[in-house]
Structure 1
Amino acid sequence: MKKTLVLVVLFVLPIVVYLFFLSGTTNFGKLAVLTENIGEIPSSDDDITLNEKITVLGFLGSDINVKRTNALNLNQKIYKRFYEFNDFQFIMVVPEGTESDVAELQKELGALADTKKWHFVFMDKTKIQTFFDGLKTDVTLDENMATPLVFIIDKDRSLRGRNDDEDEQTKYGFNSSSIADLNNKMVDDVKIILAEYRLALKKNKTRREI
C-alpha cells in the first residue's frame, strides 16, 4: 500500500495538477471582444495613448467629489494590484474645468500608491460624449458626463468584457462603486487580459529562438 501511495504521489498527482492548471490556462484569452477599433483618446499629451496599452478607462464626470470613492475603490482593488505590469494604465476622462478637483484627488490617490500610471484627460462635454459613444455599449453618461462603470481596453483599442455573464449577459464594464464587482469579476478579467499578452509574448519569444 505504501509503495502504491508513493507512486500515486510521484506520478499521478503531478499529472492531475498539470491538467488542472492547463484547463485554467485554456480559460485565459476568452475575454470577449465587444467593440473593435475604438477611437484614440483625444489628448494633448502624446504619452497618453490607448495604442499598445492595456487600459482601464473611466469617466468621472464634472463632480469629482461624488466619484471620489469610486476612484479610491479602483486604486485599492485594481490599480495597486496590477500597475507594475508593463503597458498597464488607468485613463480617466473628465470635463474641462475640473483641474483643481482632479489635482486634489491625485494627491489623495498618491498617498496610497505610486500614481504614475493614473492619467486624467480633460475634454469638453461634446468630445467626451463622442468618445464615449465610440465604445458602443448599452451604458449612458449622466448629466455630469459620468458613469460608475470602468472599461477594459486592450492593446488593439478593442473593448473587452463578457458576453456570457451570469448576471448581465453582456458585461461591458465594471461598477467601481461595488467592491463585490471589482473583487469578484474585474480582478479576474484583468488577470485574463494580462495573461493573454504574457502568453503571446512567450510564444513570440519561442518562435524567435526556433
Structure 2
Amino acid sequence: MYFCEKYYSMNKNKIVLIILFIFPIVTYLIFSSAKHNALFLPTLSESNKEIPATWKTLDGETVQLKDKITILGFVGAEVFENKTNLFNLNQKIYNKYFGFKDFQFVMIAPIGTEKDCKEILDKFKLVSDDLSGWHFVFASKEDIQEYYNSFKLQTTLDHNLGTPNVIILDKNINHRGRKGKNKKGEEEYRESYNTMSSADLHNEMSDDVKIILREYRLALKKNSRKDEFRDKITEELENK
C-alpha cells in the first residue's frame, strides 16, 4: 500500500513537472506563429541606450529605463505646444494602465523648460490620483538630438527638439512595436504612436501597451508557479 502511494506521488509530480515546463513552450510556439495582437509585441531594436545619469528630473533625481516598461517621448522646447498631446497620453494610456509597478512615462525636455513641465504635471494632478510614474528629464539640446538619433527612428525631431510621437521600450530597453502581418494579413510597421491622434492612442497604442503588460504578467505568473512547485518539492523532501 505504501509503495502504491509512493508510486502515485512520484507520477503526480512528473505530470505536474511536464505541465509546468512543456505547456509554456507549446503556448509560446502557438502564439509566436500567430498574427499580431496575439500575445507578444515584436521587437524593433534591441538593447538601446540607457538615460544618462547626468540627466535629472524635476526632483533632481535620475531615471532608469532598465527593468521598466517605458513610454518614451521628446517634448521639445515649446512644452505648452504639446500640452494637449501630453494630456491625451495621460488620459488614454497612463490613467488606464497605471498600477503596474514597473510601468513608467519618461519625457525628455531641453534644460530651461523645467517650470513649464512642472506646470503641466500640476494640471495632471487634477485628473490623476498618482503621478509617480510620470518623469520629465532634462538635457542639453545637443545631447537630446544625439540620444534620439541612437534609436534610428524613421521620424525626426522638429526645430524645438520635440515630436508628438512616443515609443514603447521593454525592461531590456528593447524598442517594441508592430512588424509583419496584422490581423487582416496586411504588412505593417509601427515604431511610434502619435499623441496628437486620439484614435491612434485609443486603438493601436492602447492595444500594444496591453499586450506588453500582459506579456510580463504571464512571465511573472510562470515564475511564480515554478517557485511554488520548487518549494513544494523541497518541503516534501525535507519532510521525508
> Which bracket does the TM-score occupy, shorter chain normalised?
0.7 to 0.9
In structure 2, the partner of 1:158 is: 174
2:168 aligns to what SS in structure 1? strand
TM-score, normalization by structure 2: 0.74
- Kept in 2: contact 1:54–1:87 (CA 8 A): yes
TM-aligned CA distance change 1:180 to 1:144, over 3 Å: same
Deviation at 1:47, TM superposition (A): 5.0
TM-aligned CA distance change 1:58 to 1:168, over 3 Å: farther
What stretches of structure 1 move > 4 A for 4+ residues in a row? Answer: 165-168
149, 157, 164: which one pairs with 2:165? 149
TM-aligned CA distance change 1:153 to 1:209, over 3 Å: same
Mapping of 1:114-125 within 5 angstroms?
114-125=130-141
> Which letter does structure 1 place at the counterpart of 2:219?
A
Structure with max Cα Rg? 2
| Aligned equivalents of 2:49, 2:163: Cα separation in 1 | 19
Deviation at 1:208, TM superposition (A): 1.7
Deviation at 1:116, TM superposition (A): 1.3
In structure 1, the partner of 2:83 is: 68
In structure 2, the partner of 1:38 is: 48
- Say whether residues 1:83 and 2:98 are aligned partners: yes
> Which letter does structure 1 place at the counterpart of 2:134?
W
Structure 2's unaligned 5+ residue stretches are: 1-26, 32-36, 230-240
| Aligned equivalents of 1:165, 1:178: Cα separation in 2 | 23
Deviation at 1:165, TM superposition (A): 6.7
114, 118, 122: which one pairs with 1:99? 114
48, 64, 78: which one pairs with 1:49? 64
| Aligned equivalents of 1:102, 1:46: Cα separation in 2 | 15
| Aligned equivalents of 2:209, 2:139: Cα separation in 1 | 27
| Percent of aligned pairs with the same amino acid | 45
In structure 1, the partner of 2:214 is: 195
| Aligned equivalents of 1:47, 1:204: Cα separation in 2 | 30
Deviation at 1:135, TM superposition (A): 1.4
**1:66-107 deviation digits (Å, cap 9, x = unpaired):** 100000000100000111111001000000110111111111
> Which letter does structure 1 place at the counterpart of 2:51?
I
- Kept in 2: contact 1:95–1:122 (CA 8 A): yes
The number of residues matched between the two structures is: 188
| Aligned equivalents of 2:119, 2:41: Cα separation in 1 | 35
TM-score, normalization by structure 1: 0.84
